A and B are shown apart, each in its own frame.
Chain A
Amino acid sequence: MTDFTLSDEAEAIRAEVRRFATRELRPRARQGGDPAVLAELRASFRELGLGSVDWPEEAGGLGLGLLERVLVAEELAAGDAGLALALDDGGLAARALLELGSPAQRERLAALEDSGAVFALALDEADLAWERGALYTMASPDGEGWRLQGGKHFVLQAPRATAFVVLARTGFAPGWGEVDAFLVEAGAEGLQVLEDPPRIGLDALGSGRLLCAGCPAARLAGGAPRPAAIARLRRYRRILFAALMVGVARAATGYACGYAQERPAFGKMIGQFQGIAFPLAELATAVDATRWLVWRAAEAFDRGDADELPSLEALLTAQETVHRAGIDSVQVLGGAGFMEDYPVEKWMRDGAALAGLAGSRLVTEQLAADALFGPA
């Protein structure tokens, strides 16, 4: 039966992250480009273990599920989504190592603590339909190891990453039967990392493109059965992105509600006009509904459910909601919303950046339709 009861532990984590996001992230949202600020925040982020709540305890995490990770992500993003991503040195690649890596490869996560390692996950390719068969980066065996040929796009943290987990094809069979994950070191011969040009939002987060011209790579050698484990990784990514979008949408909605209670016009506060109040009511409803879709997907993930739909529905809805929250909250603030003196224009940009980086709506809808009705 549907139940929304969080464990005491999850409630406590949520409260703690909310404090951190409110006190540390939101006031510095506009200073995300300052290396000193980033370094200081990264230290606190690591100390609080915010990137590892869902890692197993033996890997240094709290052993909790994606649901708890989702709670953390929403809170961090309500502080600042760019910082939430930029402070996480393990990121999605850590999840890939945990799910797919051999014990020795998983050991490398320990290095995050002390060696200044940064991992990045490289999934996307130039063709937006990489999840529907257009994944072209090839891996070929070479002695003990492998070599990669191809290109990867939208790799978060790429400019500062020390290693990459790269998804590549080992054969031409359609579908996911011959796709695997490989570890590539940042300085590897034949690997070029090109920093992305500036993006609409997520100012604190660097990203880039990988050009692999025969660069050496190690297959992630854990025993998890392949197509299923890679599908899990893709679901995990969708759900986490969606949770970040809920955080941004919630922040924008809450700020606009606060503003509407204090801004006078025509002898009233603007929130007393239905033209302002009703869109805010609809927005708050959409944010709640989106959050429950994200929770539902996370809960299904934690149960080991292999259904693709919950994560796809959560992502599509989060993309829609975050765009709407950005646009409508700027509208509520009017001219002030347009200015950098107020946070809402940044949330509008950050939301658009998150929604775009999480994937094309066309592809996601087609994936959902494939899951529902079989291939077209």
Chain B
Amino acid sequence: MVAFQLSPGLAAFQGMVENLARTVVRPLALEADRTHVYPQDFYERLASLGYSGGEVPEEYGGGRKAGAEDGRPSRSNRLMVIGSEWLAYGDPSVILNIPGPGLGGPPLQIAGTPEQKERFFAPFRPGQPVAWGAYALTEPHCGSDAKAIRTRCVKDGDGYILNGRKTYCSNGARAVWTVVFATLDPEGGRAAQRAFVVEKGTPGFAVGKIEEKLGLRACETAELVFEDCRVPASHLLGGEEYYARRNSGSFKTAMKTFDRSRPMVAAMAVGIAQAAYDELVAFCREGHLGGLPILRDTSLRALLVHMRRKIEAARLLCHRAAWMADHQQPNSKEASMAKACAPAVGQWVTREALRVMGGHGTERARFVEKLYRDVKVFDIFEGTGQIQRLIIARKLMPALRIS
């Protein structure tokens, strides 16, 4: 049945995340933004509360998934959307910091063999020390054009030799393993692409942190270098048969990940927009303009109404895309709609909040300037806004090749 209210259980879940965001995350956020790191006990606390960055399947030691019982549709995508939104409300940096398989989880879950899942999900079982997984697709010379990757993999006996560079890899330096996309032949297109799970410390695999960024400063971003890095064939995601059977390389694996991650990333942008809106309202409640309380100004009230409905609309697009994923419906178009819309709303709301607040908005302690910096990358990673529009347009006009 059509419903837009949270069930009691979910309202409790949202309340719990929101409480964590307000009472634990937010007080640490400014300091983490300055030092580029959260304290170690914060990660342990998140893990002990049951938060996991990326899903660990139940059969491989993850926690029990809410709502998948009784053959009913899963609720996991909707839960992720709610959790992501409210954690980002506390601090947009925090989500990518949560220990867990991260963006490496979905390709492992989608393409991995049972042995690979058993082995690589193991570090994330409850009770283990905190650990991160990572996902490396982007290279210095190519981002959105993922077909153009040049990191080479060459078959060598019972393994592969990797050579090349990856960049903008979240948690890449501390990850226990990273899903790395490489190609047998740079001219071979999608079919030549392969995905490998490369473990930390593998000889020939070096990482360096990228320290200075516009926003998400408390997130670890790494550059990966592969120099004659030998990876056993057992680390080829899905095994040789997977690629023989599908005949489409790992490209599809990379793209499928997005159908689940994009609504989540979009929801984070919604959380950022909501946070900026709330900060602006708080500012307007305390301040005066021309002798009158700011909140009585008609043009400001209209702006706040406009912001709020834009945020609601973006939120609904996220929930819609997640609902489709939960119901196993193809949702590439809807995931892209959420991802095209929410970061645009987030950028607009944070910018207008800054503009209304004048000089006050530029002060670090006001938090809005941080939201304004942080939200920018949400229109870039997980597919830029332009790429989302391309995907939507292709679905709207299937008769055409649009590039």
Q: Which of A's residues lie within 8 Å of B, judged by CB?
A: 1-7, 67, 257, 260-262, 269, 271-272, 274, 277-278, 280-282, 284-285, 288-290, 292-293, 295-296, 299-300, 303, 309, 312-313, 316-317, 362, 365-366, 368-369, 372-373, 376
Identify whether the interface residues of B are mostly helix, strand, loop, or mixed.
Answer: helix
A372 in contact with B308 (CB, 8 Å): yes
Given the interface contacts A285-B340, A368-B305, does A5 sit within 8 Å of B1 by beta carbon? yes
Given the interface contacts A288-B320, A313-B312, does A277 sit within 8 Å of B304 by beta carbon? no
B78 in contact with A372 (CB, 8 Å): no
Interface size of B in residues (CB-CB distance below 8 Å): 49
| A3→B400 CA distance, assembly (Å) | 33
Interface assignment of B122: CB less than 8 Å from any CB of chain A:
no
- What are the 5 closest A-B residue pairs judged by CB atoms, nearest first? A369-B301, A277-B393, A281-B392, A292-B316, A2-B319
Q: Inside 8 A of B5's CB, which chain A residues have their CB?
A: 1, 303
The residue that A2 contacts in the complex, of B304, B306, B323, with Cβ under 8 A, is B323
| A303→B5 CA distance, assembly (Å) | 10
B301 in contact with A373 (CB, 8 Å): yes
Q: How far is the CB of B161 from chain A (nearest CB, A)?
A: 39
Q: List 15 A–B pairs whose Cβ atoms lie within 8 Å, in order of A's numbering.
A: A2-B4, A4-B320, A257-B397, A261-B397, A269-B399, A274-B389, A274-B390, A282-B340, A289-B316, A292-B316, A317-B313, A362-B302, A366-B298, A369-B302, A372-B304
CB-contacts of B239-267 with A (<8 A): none
Q: Inside 8 A of A376's CB, which chain B residues have their CB?
A: 296-298, 301
Q: Inside 8 A of A3's CB, which chain B residues have their CB?
A: 1-4, 323
Q: Inside 8 A of B184's CB, which chain A residues have their CB?
A: none
Interface assignment of B128: CB less than 8 Å from any CB of chain A:
no
Q: How far is the CB of B71 from chain A (nearest CB, A)?
A: 15
Interface assignment of B125: CB less than 8 Å from any CB of chain A:
no
Q: Inside 8 A of A317's CB, which chain B residues have their CB?
A: 309, 313
B4 in contact with A296 (CB, 8 Å): yes
A299 in contact with B2 (CB, 8 Å): yes
Q: How far is the CB of A21 from chain B (nearest CB, A)?
A: 21
Interface assignment of B139: CB less than 8 Å from any CB of chain A:
no
Given the interface contacts A2-B316, A369-B304, A376-B301, does A271 sit within 8 Å of B400 by beta carbon? yes
A271 in contact with B397 (CB, 8 Å): yes
The residue that A373 contacts in the complex, of B78, B295, B309, B322, with Cβ under 8 A, is B295
Q: How far is the CB of B314 from chain A (nearest CB, A)?
A: 7
Interface assignment of B174: CB less than 8 Å from any CB of chain A:
no
A285 in contact with B317 (CB, 8 Å): yes
B313 in contact with A292 (CB, 8 Å): yes
Given the interface contacts A316-B309, A372-B305, does A285 sit within 8 Å of B392 by beta carbon? yes
B317 in contact with A1 (CB, 8 Å): no
Q: Inside 8 A of B393's CB, which chain A residues have their CB?
A: 271, 277-278, 280-281
| A6→B1 CA distance, assembly (Å) | 6
Interface assignment of B131: CB less than 8 Å from any CB of chain A:
no
The residue that A269 contacts in the complex, of B1, B297, B400, with Cβ under 8 A, is B400
| A271→B388 CA distance, assembly (Å) | 16
| A297→B98 CA distance, assembly (Å) | 35
Q: Inside 8 A of B365's CB, which chain A residues have their CB?
A: none
Interface assignment of B341: CB less than 8 Å from any CB of chain A:
yes
Given the interface contacts A285-B317, A292-B313, does A7 sit within 8 Å of B1 by beta carbon? yes
Interface assignment of B337: CB less than 8 Å from any CB of chain A:
yes
In the complex, besides A4-B2, A277-B397, A313-B312, 15 extra interface pairs with C-beta distance below 8 angstroms are: A2-B3, A2-B320, A2-B322, A3-B1, A261-B397, A281-B340, A281-B389, A284-B337, A288-B320, A312-B305, A313-B305, A366-B298, A368-B309, A372-B305, A372-B308
Interface assignment of B396: CB less than 8 Å from any CB of chain A:
yes
Q: Inside 8 A of B314's CB, which chain A residues have their CB?
A: 289
Q: Inside 8 A of B75's CB, which chain A residues have their CB?
A: 1
Q: Inside 8 A of A309's CB, which chain B residues have their CB?
A: 308
Q: How far is the CB of A59 from chain B (nearest CB, A)?
A: 23
Give 1 or 0 for each of B1-38: 1 = CB within 8 Å of chain A CB.
11111110010000000000000000000000000000
The residue that B389 contacts in the complex, of A5, A282, A303, with Cβ under 8 A, is A282
Q: Inside 8 A of B324's CB, which chain A residues have their CB?
A: 4
Interface assignment of B49: CB less than 8 Å from any CB of chain A:
no
The residue that B402 contacts in the complex, of A277, A282, A288, A372, with Cβ under 8 A, is A277
Give 1 or 0 for each of B205-223: 1 = CB within 8 Å of chain A CB.
0000000000000000000
Given the interface contacts A2-B78, A3-B323, A289-B316, does A365 sit within 8 Å of B305 by beta carbon? yes
| A277→B401 CA distance, assembly (Å) | 11
Interface assignment of B334: CB less than 8 Å from any CB of chain A:
yes
The residue in chain A whose Cβ has the minimal distance to the Cβ of B345 is A289
Give 1 or 0 for each of B113-148: 1 = CB within 8 Å of chain A CB.
000000000000000000000000000000000000
| A173→B146 CA distance, assembly (Å) | 66
Q: How far is the CB of B278 from chain A (nearest CB, A)?
A: 12
Q: How far is the CB of A265 from chain B (nearest CB, A)?
A: 13
Q: How far is the CB of A47 from chain B (nearest CB, A)?
A: 27
Q: Inside 8 A of B308's CB, which chain A residues have their CB?
A: 309, 313, 368, 372
| A1→B297 CA distance, assembly (Å) | 35
Q: How far is the CB of A332 from chain B (nearest CB, A)?
A: 11
| A272→B308 CA distance, assembly (Å) | 34
| A376→B4 CA distance, assembly (Å) | 30
